[in-house]
Structure formats: structure tokens, C-alpha cells
Amino acid sequence: MAHISGTANITAADAIFMHRALELAAQGVALATPNPMVGAVLVRKGKIIGEGFHTYEGMRHAEIVALEAASKQPPENFGGIVGGVFKLDKNTEAASGVLTPEALNANAFMESDAARGATLYVNLEPCCHKGRTGPCTNALILAGVKRVVAAMQDPNPAVAGRGFKHLRAAGIEVVTGLREAEARRLVEPFAKWIVSRRPLVTLKSALTLDGQLVLPHARSSRSHRKPRARRPLDNGWITSLESRAEVQRMRHASDALLTGIGTVLVDNPLLTDRTGLPRRRKLLRVVMDSRLRLPLKSQLVQTADNDVLVFTLASENSPKARALRAAGVEIVHVAGRGGKSDLRAVMAELGRREILSVLLEAGAKLNSAALAAGIVDKMRVFLAPKIAGFQGIAAARNGFQAPCELHNVTMAQFGVDFAIEGYLHDVYRTG
């Protein structure tokens, strides 16, 4: 349980407004990266007067959007719960938040008393350094905010408590730790990357009750391999429609999807984000292909649009590599040993590209290699009420170096399936 510091006077209203801040932060999914998702709610006399969330393209931080929104409120709306005055802007090409960018003035809040004496609820510590924008702490002080309730400290070493210190030095009451667990989950990809410059890796798998990845005789009709006799069973899917919709949401929340060439050859997948929700940049589709066997006629290659990346041990200048490159696929040579690519080097390269989160959707071989290499931070396994029998394919083959135990385990139900999620690593560990 998170420790709440700063005051003993936490109220039910504080919890409600922090919940709203977390909801707003989540609207930055796929829009804030490589920055953290942040939502902010400005409250005066018990009512919301401004709110906002951060997107990378919009530049302005959530706290600033909330201050600007408050400055545009007519006096009669002070104390009015958010309604018609606010309009969600989903245009990823423009500044995003609660008000449309045309209605916002970057300096309006400095000329307004709207936020004077207000409380700010925010899921992440306000920044106190100059990056692409100025320090949010300065803006809050100038606006006359009297109290800040923040769910968690910023894991960025450039902030890491300094923002709170700056606010307290200016006489602002600071409360921390309210709904911290939820806030940490929202920010965990950024937390992993900002300290290690490596992405957060989530291994996703779907299993039958007897631990199989594939139903007997199941295969894709688009496979590049010889067809096998097939017994239809829910169209060959292990999991329910509800579980598969959740996987699409997981893809939407990820910067990259990683798979192995074996999966591509057997299933010929698209590996796309099919939620239809806006995202700042396309989901990067990454394939581990040591011998460069990716078919030119595969769906991945046929739909490549600067969003397919192949890591290989093969020559980058071979005829196959040139053909793939001409089709829009990026080829990167990676170091390896014994015919196996160095997955740690792959994560370093993805981190260099500001990829904060990777969803691993692969077969037994790559799953085992990833776990053995220690690159997997968390796992999410969907268990379906089906039995594959001995002809199925296990989730991971030989390659585990030691038994694994998940921590902070949670469970959720999707249709008839259960999803178990847990962590292998503390992504907030700095040592």
C-alpha cells in the first residue's frame, strides 16, 4: 500500500478528483510517448474549473492545459462541473487536452486569477526543469495554486522529488501517494526507459488449460508452410473474442510489437493495431529473423510503410536484404552467438529509437529466449477453457535458465477466459 505524505486531511473528494486525473492521463495512450501519460484537474471551492492531459505533439504539459482551461472559464462557470465549456480534442496533429487548441492562450493563465487558491490533482510530480517546455512548478506558483495532490514522484532523475521541493519552498501544500499504484502502472514504460534507456517488455501469451499455445491441427489459411489437416474449433483461436479485443488494446498501448520469424512463416500475420484509436506514430512491427527468411509476399512486407523492422544476423547487403529494403522494410544487423541474435542488443537499439514499450507476441522459441535473456519485465497470460492434448505446442520450450516467479499478480476475466498478469522485474528499480 502506498504511503500518503503531506497531510492527514485526505478527503473523499480528493480521491474522486485524483480518479479523474488518472482517467485523463489514460487518454494520452499512444499519444504521449515517449513522454509519460499525465492528466491534471484543477479544483476550486470543490468544483472542477480546468483539466487536461498531455500529448507529445501538443507539447504543453497537462498542468498547463488545465491552467489555460481555467483561464478561459467565465466567472459564472467557476465552480461548474466540466460540461459544455470543455471539448475533447482528438486531433493528433494539434495540441491536445480538454479545450481545442484555438481556444487556448499559452500565457492566459498568468493574467487570470481563476486558479488562485485552487488545488491541482495530477498523477505525476510536476516538472521543475526546462525541456521542450518551461517548468510546470513555476507556472503553478505564478497562477496562485495553493495545494497540489500528486499520485507519485517523477521517476525521471532530472526531477525525482525536486518538483515537490520547489512547490513546498513556495508555500504550496503538497500531498503525495494518493492512488499511487494506479499512477505507477500508467507511467511504467516511461519509468523503465528514462532510467535504463530500454523499453518495458510485456510477454503476452494465450494458453489452453494444458499449457498449449496452438490447438491441434490449427494453422493460418495464409501460412507459407504446407497445410495440415485441420479440425475447426472456434476458427482455430484459443481465446475468446473479448480476449482478442483486449490484446488489440494492449497493442494500441505499445510502441512496438515483437515476434519471431517462425510465427510469421506459420501464421503470416499483419501484427497491426486494429483498435481504430488515434496514435502519434504507427505501431512498429519488429521481427527477429536471423537468416532473413521473411517472405516478400508476406502480409508484413506487403503492408510495410516505414513500420516494419527486421533484426538479423545475415548480411544487410544481400540480394534478399535489398529486396526487402526496396519494399519498405528496414533491415538491421545485430550481434549474435551460435546463430541466435543478442536480444539485449535489440532492446538497446529499440530504446535508442525512443521505443518505450514492447509487446512480445511470439512462439515458444522466442518466448524462451526472451525469458532466458532477462528482457521480459511482465507477463500477461490468457487462459482459455480448452484442452489441446499432446499434439499442441507448449508456451516455451527448453531455454529457461531458472524458475520464474511473478509478483504483483492480478487477474481479470474476458469472456470465458482469464488473464493473469504479473511482473518479473521491478520496473522502478534504479540500481
Residues annotated as catalytic are 63
Distance CA 420, CA 415 (A): 14
- 3-class SS at 41? strand
Packed helices 343-352 and 364-373: angle between N→C axes, nearest 10 degrees? 80
* Cα–Cα distance list, 362 to 144, 179, 260 (Å): 52, 34, 6
In the block, which residue shows the cell 502519434?
A: 280
Summarize the chain as % helix, strand, coil (round to 5). 30, 20, 50
- For the sheet containing 357-360, what is the strand order? 330-333, 308-312, 284-288, 256-260, 357-360, 200-207, 378-383, 417-423, 407-414
In contact, 60 and 136? CB cutoff 8 Å: no
Distance CA 267, CA 134 (A): 48
